[in-house]
Amino acid sequence: MAKHKLSIRKAGSVLLNAGLMVVVFLAASAWVSRNMLPADGQVAPELRGITLAGEPYDLADANDRPALVYFFAPWCKICAASSGNLTRLRRWRDVDDLEIVAVALDWGLVREVRDYVDRHELNVTVVLGDVNVSRQWQIQAFPSYYVLDDQHRIVRRDIGYSTQFGLWLRALFI
């Protein structure tokens, strides 16, 4: 009987510690993203620019489709670590089902962005962003991303590394 009580006590301790870790993680995430645009359903700013392929891009053309807008810098190590997750998300979610656009910011030469895209085999539309895009979307760290519903209202946002499962899960319920 004493052994059984010890097992229950251990399980309770493990659950309590796991719960505390989740609370700390959520609090840290909220703190880091506090200066981003709110994820309260407001309409996202416009996103227009030229793609890495030299074509004009306008997020508004992805009407009636949810979107994941991912902001990165070619020099960012965390962006490099998470790029593969973005590529895998594209494989899991059809182009007609989810607009995925990566926006390059804080770059000097187009070649830097092209090298980054090639090195990480990014298979999503890449837009060459600028200071105005960064300001409108309130980007202060890399990577940053916003998840938009089919009316392009902001429903989720985050800064930093996101796992493949994390990106998939955030984009699943839109």
| In the chain, domain spans | 1-32, 37-172
- Bigger pLDDT: 137 vs 172: 137
Q: CA 137 to CA 149: how far, in whole Å?
A: 16
Q: Does residue 143 have a cis bond before it (omega within 30 degrees)?
A: yes
Instruction: Determine which of 33-37, 93-97, 119-123, 159-163 has the lowest per-residue pLDDT on average.
Output: 33-37
Look up the pTM and report it. 0.83
- Bigger pLDDT: 93 vs 114: 114
Is 6 strand, coil or helix? helix
CATH superfamily entry for domain 37-172:
Glutaredoxin (3.40.30.10)
Q: What are the tens digits of pLDDT across the range 51-81?
A: 999 999 999 999 889 999 999 999 999 999 9
Q: CA 14 to CA 17: how far, in whole Å?
A: 5
Q: What are the tens digits of pLDDT across the range 100-126?
A: 999 999 999 999 999 999 999 999 999
Q: CA 95 to CA 124: how far, in whole Å?
A: 9
